[in-house]
Amino acid sequence: MTASSQPFGTRLARAIEERGRFCVGIDPHAALLQEWGLGDDVASLERFALTVVEAVAPVVGVVKPQSAFYERFGSRGIAVLERVVAESRAAGALVLMDAKRGDIGSTSQAYADAYLDPSSPLASDALTASPFLGFGSLDPMLDACRRHGAGLFVLALTSNKEGPEVQHARTAARTVAATVLDHLRAANAGALPVGSFGAVVGATIGATEEDLDINGPLLMPGFGAQGGTTADLERILGAAARWALPSSSREVLRAGPDVTALRDAALRGTEAVQGLGA
Protein backbone atom coordinates (compact mmCIF):
# COMPACT_ATOMS: atom_id res chain seq x y z
CA MET A 1 0.00 0.00 0.00
CA THR A 2 1.08 3.57 -0.60
CA ALA A 3 0.03 6.82 1.04
CA SER A 4 -2.73 8.65 -0.73
CA SER A 5 -1.82 11.89 -2.45
CA GLN A 6 -5.29 13.26 -1.62
CA PRO A 7 -6.88 13.94 1.76
CA PHE A 8 -9.55 11.51 2.90
CA GLY A 9 -12.20 14.24 2.71
CA THR A 10 -11.50 14.74 -0.99
CA ARG A 11 -11.68 11.02 -1.67
CA LEU A 12 -14.86 10.65 0.37
CA ALA A 13 -16.57 13.46 -1.51
CA ARG A 14 -15.75 11.72 -4.78
CA ALA A 15 -17.00 8.37 -3.45
CA ILE A 16 -20.31 9.95 -2.41
CA GLU A 17 -20.69 11.56 -5.83
CA GLU A 18 -19.91 8.36 -7.72
CA ARG A 19 -21.45 5.67 -5.48
CA GLY A 20 -23.68 7.40 -2.96
CA ARG A 21 -23.44 7.96 0.79
CA PHE A 22 -24.65 4.62 2.16
CA CYS A 23 -22.09 2.80 4.32
CA VAL A 24 -22.34 -0.97 4.80
CA GLY A 25 -21.08 -2.51 8.01
CA ILE A 26 -19.34 -5.88 7.58
CA ASP A 27 -20.09 -7.26 11.04
CA PRO A 28 -19.96 -11.07 11.34
CA HIS A 29 -22.13 -11.43 14.46
CA ALA A 30 -22.40 -15.04 15.64
CA ALA A 31 -26.17 -14.77 15.15
CA LEU A 32 -25.72 -13.69 11.52
CA LEU A 33 -23.33 -16.55 10.85
CA GLN A 34 -26.05 -18.86 12.14
CA GLU A 35 -28.71 -17.17 9.99
CA TRP A 36 -26.53 -17.88 6.96
CA GLY A 37 -26.31 -21.54 7.95
CA LEU A 38 -22.67 -21.19 8.95
CA GLY A 39 -20.75 -22.25 12.03
CA ASP A 40 -19.09 -19.97 14.55
CA ASP A 41 -15.54 -20.61 13.35
CA VAL A 42 -12.83 -18.98 11.27
CA ALA A 43 -13.75 -20.73 8.01
CA SER A 44 -17.32 -19.47 8.36
CA LEU A 45 -16.09 -15.98 9.27
CA GLU A 46 -14.02 -15.92 6.09
CA ARG A 47 -16.86 -17.16 3.90
CA PHE A 48 -19.28 -14.64 5.38
CA ALA A 49 -17.00 -11.61 5.25
CA LEU A 50 -15.60 -12.19 1.78
CA THR A 51 -19.05 -12.92 0.36
CA VAL A 52 -20.20 -9.54 1.67
CA VAL A 53 -17.13 -7.87 0.18
CA GLU A 54 -17.81 -9.50 -3.19
CA ALA A 55 -21.40 -8.28 -3.11
CA VAL A 56 -21.14 -4.73 -1.83
CA ALA A 57 -17.60 -3.36 -2.21
CA PRO A 58 -17.95 -2.82 -5.97
CA VAL A 59 -21.13 -0.74 -5.58
CA VAL A 60 -21.00 1.29 -2.34
CA GLY A 61 -18.66 4.11 -1.45
CA VAL A 62 -17.75 3.01 2.08
CA VAL A 63 -17.62 -0.30 3.93
CA LYS A 64 -17.14 -0.50 7.69
CA PRO A 65 -15.80 -3.74 9.16
CA GLN A 66 -16.19 -3.94 12.95
CA SER A 67 -12.83 -5.17 14.18
CA ALA A 68 -14.08 -6.93 17.31
CA PHE A 69 -15.98 -9.59 15.35
CA TYR A 70 -12.70 -10.61 13.72
CA GLU A 71 -10.47 -10.17 16.78
CA ARG A 72 -12.48 -12.73 18.75
CA PHE A 73 -11.01 -15.46 16.51
CA GLY A 74 -7.44 -14.41 17.27
CA SER A 75 -4.70 -14.16 14.66
CA ARG A 76 -6.66 -16.13 12.05
CA GLY A 77 -9.57 -13.74 12.42
CA ILE A 78 -7.26 -10.75 11.98
CA ALA A 79 -5.94 -12.40 8.81
CA VAL A 80 -9.51 -12.46 7.50
CA LEU A 81 -9.88 -8.77 8.41
CA GLU A 82 -6.72 -7.98 6.45
CA ARG A 83 -8.30 -9.63 3.39
CA VAL A 84 -11.53 -7.69 3.92
CA VAL A 85 -9.56 -4.44 3.91
CA ALA A 86 -7.44 -5.32 0.88
CA GLU A 87 -10.23 -6.75 -1.26
CA SER A 88 -12.68 -3.97 -0.43
CA ARG A 89 -10.17 -1.32 -1.43
CA ALA A 90 -9.29 -3.25 -4.60
CA ALA A 91 -13.00 -3.18 -5.51
CA GLY A 92 -13.06 0.61 -5.19
CA ALA A 93 -14.69 1.07 -1.77
CA LEU A 94 -13.22 3.18 1.00
CA VAL A 95 -12.63 1.17 4.18
CA LEU A 96 -13.63 2.69 7.50
CA MET A 97 -12.20 0.49 10.25
CA ASP A 98 -14.62 0.47 13.17
CA ALA A 99 -12.24 -0.15 16.06
CA LYS A 100 -13.03 2.83 18.34
CA ARG A 101 -9.44 3.08 19.53
CA GLY A 102 -8.33 5.67 22.06
CA ASP A 103 -5.34 5.93 24.38
CA ILE A 104 -2.46 8.25 25.16
CA GLY A 105 1.09 8.84 24.03
CA SER A 106 2.98 5.97 22.46
CA THR A 107 -0.06 3.69 22.61
CA SER A 108 -2.15 6.16 20.63
CA GLN A 109 0.71 6.34 18.14
CA ALA A 110 0.76 2.55 17.90
CA TYR A 111 -2.94 2.52 17.06
CA ALA A 112 -2.25 5.12 14.38
CA ASP A 113 0.55 2.96 13.00
CA ALA A 114 -1.67 -0.14 12.98
CA TYR A 115 -4.70 1.31 11.22
CA LEU A 116 -3.57 4.43 9.35
CA ASP A 117 0.02 3.85 8.21
CA PRO A 118 0.08 2.43 4.65
CA SER A 119 2.85 0.02 5.61
CA SER A 120 0.48 -1.88 7.93
CA PRO A 121 -1.55 -4.84 6.60
CA LEU A 122 -4.57 -3.35 8.43
CA ALA A 123 -4.14 0.14 6.96
CA SER A 124 -7.57 1.57 6.20
CA ASP A 125 -8.88 4.75 4.66
CA ALA A 126 -10.32 5.85 8.00
CA LEU A 127 -10.68 4.77 11.63
CA THR A 128 -13.23 5.30 14.40
CA ALA A 129 -11.78 6.66 17.64
CA SER A 130 -12.79 7.51 21.21
CA PRO A 131 -11.91 11.00 22.51
CA PHE A 132 -12.84 10.43 26.14
CA LEU A 133 -9.26 10.53 27.42
CA GLY A 134 -9.24 14.11 26.14
CA PHE A 135 -9.31 15.13 22.49
CA GLY A 136 -5.57 15.82 22.55
CA SER A 137 -4.94 12.13 23.18
CA LEU A 138 -5.95 11.59 19.54
CA ASP A 139 -3.22 13.87 18.17
CA PRO A 140 -1.03 10.98 16.94
CA MET A 141 -4.00 9.68 14.95
CA LEU A 142 -4.83 13.11 13.51
CA ASP A 143 -1.18 13.61 12.57
CA ALA A 144 -1.12 10.19 10.87
CA CYS A 145 -4.26 11.09 8.94
CA ARG A 146 -2.70 14.30 7.67
CA ARG A 147 0.50 12.48 6.74
CA HIS A 148 -1.14 9.56 4.96
CA GLY A 149 -4.35 11.02 3.51
CA ALA A 150 -6.55 9.09 5.95
CA GLY A 151 -9.61 10.00 7.98
CA LEU A 152 -10.78 9.78 11.59
CA PHE A 153 -14.36 9.47 12.89
CA VAL A 154 -14.58 10.50 16.53
CA LEU A 155 -17.36 9.45 18.90
CA ALA A 156 -19.53 12.46 19.74
CA LEU A 157 -23.25 11.69 20.14
CA THR A 158 -23.77 7.95 20.20
CA SER A 159 -27.18 6.30 20.45
CA ASN A 160 -26.40 3.70 23.15
CA LYS A 161 -28.38 4.38 26.31
CA GLU A 162 -25.22 4.83 28.42
CA GLY A 163 -23.72 7.49 26.15
CA PRO A 164 -25.47 10.59 27.55
CA GLU A 165 -23.95 10.23 31.03
CA VAL A 166 -20.63 11.28 29.49
CA GLN A 167 -21.52 12.99 26.23
CA HIS A 168 -24.26 15.23 27.68
CA ALA A 169 -22.28 16.11 30.81
CA ARG A 170 -21.58 19.83 31.08
CA THR A 171 -18.63 21.96 31.94
CA ALA A 172 -19.37 25.58 32.78
CA ALA A 173 -19.91 26.48 29.14
CA ARG A 174 -20.84 23.45 27.09
CA THR A 175 -21.40 19.71 26.91
CA VAL A 176 -18.66 17.15 26.41
CA ALA A 177 -20.14 16.40 22.97
CA ALA A 178 -19.96 20.08 22.04
CA THR A 179 -16.29 20.14 23.05
CA VAL A 180 -15.57 17.15 20.77
CA LEU A 181 -17.46 18.77 17.90
CA ASP A 182 -15.61 22.07 18.39
CA HIS A 183 -12.26 20.28 18.18
CA LEU A 184 -13.34 18.56 14.96
CA ARG A 185 -14.55 21.86 13.51
CA ALA A 186 -11.16 23.38 14.22
CA ALA A 187 -9.33 20.39 12.70
CA ASN A 188 -11.41 20.74 9.51
CA ALA A 189 -11.14 24.53 9.20
CA GLY A 190 -10.63 25.64 5.61
CA ALA A 191 -10.74 22.14 4.11
CA LEU A 192 -12.39 21.80 0.71
CA PRO A 193 -14.67 20.20 -0.32
CA VAL A 194 -14.89 18.72 3.18
CA GLY A 195 -12.53 17.91 6.02
CA SER A 196 -11.13 14.49 6.84
CA PHE A 197 -12.14 14.46 10.51
CA GLY A 198 -15.67 13.29 11.16
CA ALA A 199 -18.01 12.69 14.08
CA VAL A 200 -20.00 9.61 14.99
CA VAL A 201 -23.63 10.59 15.61
CA GLY A 202 -26.25 7.92 16.21
CA ALA A 203 -29.16 7.82 13.79
CA THR A 204 -31.55 7.20 16.68
CA ILE A 205 -30.49 9.90 19.16
CA GLY A 206 -33.58 12.02 18.54
CA ALA A 207 -33.29 15.79 18.55
CA THR A 208 -30.08 17.55 19.55
CA GLU A 209 -29.19 21.16 20.16
CA GLU A 210 -25.54 20.60 19.25
CA ASP A 211 -24.07 22.25 16.16
CA LEU A 212 -23.24 19.35 13.85
CA ASP A 213 -21.85 21.49 11.03
CA ILE A 214 -18.17 20.63 11.49
CA ASN A 215 -17.10 20.84 7.83
CA GLY A 216 -16.54 17.11 8.13
CA PRO A 217 -18.39 13.84 7.53
CA LEU A 218 -20.94 12.49 9.99
CA LEU A 219 -21.07 8.72 10.40
CA MET A 220 -24.64 7.77 11.34
CA PRO A 221 -24.83 4.17 12.61
CA GLY A 222 -28.24 2.77 13.45
CA PHE A 223 -29.91 3.42 10.12
CA GLY A 224 -32.34 0.74 8.97
CA ALA A 225 -32.78 -2.36 11.13
CA GLN A 226 -31.88 -0.47 14.32
CA GLY A 227 -34.68 2.01 13.74
CA GLY A 228 -33.10 5.08 12.15
CA THR A 229 -34.97 6.52 9.16
CA THR A 230 -34.23 9.13 6.54
CA ALA A 231 -36.62 11.47 8.35
CA ASP A 232 -34.63 10.97 11.56
CA LEU A 233 -31.39 11.86 9.78
CA GLU A 234 -32.86 15.02 8.30
CA ARG A 235 -34.28 16.08 11.68
CA ILE A 236 -31.03 15.43 13.56
CA LEU A 237 -28.63 16.89 11.01
CA GLY A 238 -30.41 19.76 9.32
CA ALA A 239 -28.03 21.53 6.95
CA ALA A 240 -25.18 19.24 8.02
CA ALA A 241 -26.87 16.32 6.23
CA ARG A 242 -24.84 17.08 3.11
CA TRP A 243 -21.93 15.06 4.50
CA ALA A 244 -23.88 12.35 6.31
CA LEU A 245 -22.85 8.70 5.99
CA PRO A 246 -25.84 6.60 7.10
CA SER A 247 -24.55 3.18 8.09
CA SER A 248 -26.29 -0.17 8.34
CA SER A 249 -25.10 -3.72 8.76
CA ARG A 250 -27.96 -6.09 9.64
CA GLU A 251 -30.34 -4.45 7.15
CA VAL A 252 -28.01 -5.59 4.37
CA LEU A 253 -26.32 -8.66 5.84
CA ARG A 254 -29.56 -10.52 6.54
CA ALA A 255 -30.10 -10.68 2.75
CA GLY A 256 -27.22 -13.15 2.46
CA PRO A 257 -25.69 -15.50 1.68
CA ASP A 258 -26.84 -14.86 -1.89
CA VAL A 259 -24.49 -12.31 -3.49
CA THR A 260 -27.15 -10.80 -5.72
CA ALA A 261 -29.56 -10.37 -2.81
CA LEU A 262 -26.83 -8.73 -0.73
CA ARG A 263 -25.93 -6.35 -3.53
CA ASP A 264 -29.59 -5.46 -4.11
CA ALA A 265 -30.01 -4.72 -0.40
CA ALA A 266 -26.99 -2.41 -0.47
CA LEU A 267 -28.31 -0.62 -3.54
CA ARG A 268 -31.69 -0.16 -1.86
CA GLY A 269 -29.92 1.47 1.05
CA THR A 270 -28.06 3.77 -1.31
CA GLU A 271 -31.29 4.74 -3.03
CA ALA A 272 -33.07 5.36 0.28
CA VAL A 273 -30.61 8.09 1.31
CA GLN A 274 -29.86 9.46 -2.13
CA GLY A 275 -31.61 12.79 -1.61
CA LEU A 276 -30.27 13.41 1.89
CA GLY A 277 -28.79 16.89 2.22
CA ALA A 278 -29.90 17.98 -1.24
Comparing CA positions, the residue from 238, 180, 178 lying closest to residue 207 is: 238
Q: What is the pLDDT of residue 36?
A: 98
Average pLDDT over all residues of the chain: 94
pLDDT at 3 over 70: no
pLDDT at 4 over 80: no
pLDDT in tens, 124-183: 999 999 999 999 999 999 999 999 999 999 999 988 788 888 888 888 789 999 999 999
Rounded to whole angstroms, the Cα distance separating 148 from 243 reads 22
Q: What is the pLDDT of residue 1?
A: 42
- 257 upstream amide cis, omega within 30 of 0: yes
C-alpha neighbours within 13 Å on the C-beta side of residue 41: 4
Rounded to whole angstroms, the Cα distance separating 159 from 157 reads 7
Percentage of the chain beyond pLDDT 90 is 81
pLDDT at 2 over 60: no
Q: What is the pLDDT of residue 48?
A: 98
Cβ 188 vs Cβ 49: under 8 Å: no
pLDDT at 238 over 80: yes
In terms of C-beta distances under 8 Å and separation of at least 24 residues, what long-range contacts does 40-46 make, across chains too? 41/73, 42/73, 42/76, 42/77, 42/80, 45/69, 45/70, 45/73, 45/77, 45/80, 46/80, 46/83
Residues involved in catalysis: 100
pLDDT at 236 over 90: no
Sign of CA dihedral 273, 154, 33, 81: positive
Q: What is the pLDDT of residue 225?
A: 67
Beta strands in the chain, from DSSP E residues, in sequence order: 23-26, 62-65, 94-101, 126-129, 151-157, 197-201, 218-221, 244-248
The whole-model pTM stands at 0.95
Rounded to whole angstroms, the Cα distance separating 81 from 69 reads 9
